Amino acid sequence: MGDTKGQVVAGDNGAGRRLDQLNEPTDVLIDKETDSLIICDRWNQRVVRWSRRSGTIQGEILIDNIDPWGLTMDDQRYLYISDYMIHEVRQYQIGDKNGTLMAGGNGEGAGRNQLTVPTHLFVDQQQTVYVSDKCNHRVMKWNKGAKE
């Protein structure tokens, strides 16, 4: 508290693929349980975790081979990540690499079971998922367990 200037808390080594670099991060959240940042590292096609403790110089990969744009975490610590290239949202437990399809997943399109470039997310206490469906110019809602 009391700082009058911003400070870098992740990255700061230019754009790149190393674990001490990010490449166009698009979203970030704080995992209070581990006191860490979870970051969508868009052009590196990964989601990474950086400790907020002083002295942290690099992150760790939580999920890779993904095109992440947005992420959120629910009360049970499930991560929800939008993949803007395959037009879907998946739910992950920390440590899970595959996740569970929660929204979209039926190819790019404007159908009620489709998304086109999903970006930002919100999940409420009932695990209802709200998705900014960027290129369809709408916000979609999926109740927990919805398939369509």
53/82 Cα distance (integer angstroms):
27
Beta strands 36-41 and 46-51 are: antiparallel
Q: Which residue has the tokens 């009932």?
A: 126
Per-residue pLDDT of 3-39, as tens digits, reads 788 888 888 888 989 898 999 999 999 999 999 999 9
Q: Which residue has the tokens 């992420």?
A: 71
Residue count (the chain):
148
DSSP secondary structure of 36-84: EEEEEEGGGTEEEEEE-STT----EEEEES--EEEEEE-TT--EEEEET
Please tell me whether the overall predicted TM-score, pTM, comes out greater than 0.85 for this model.
Answer: yes
Buried b (16+ CB within 10 A) or exposed e, 5-32: eeeeebbeeeeeeebebbbebbbeeebe
Q: For the chain, which residues make up each domain, given as ranges?
A: 25-142
122/18 Cα distance (integer angstroms):
30
CATH of domain 25-142: 2.120.10.30
Q: What is the pLDDT along the chain (148 residues), one digit of tens a residue?
A: 677 888 888 888 889 898 989 999 999 999 999 999 999 999 999 999 999 887 778 889 999 999 999 999 999 999 999 999 999 999 999 989 999 999 999 999 999 999 999 999 999 999 999 999 999 999 999 998 776 6
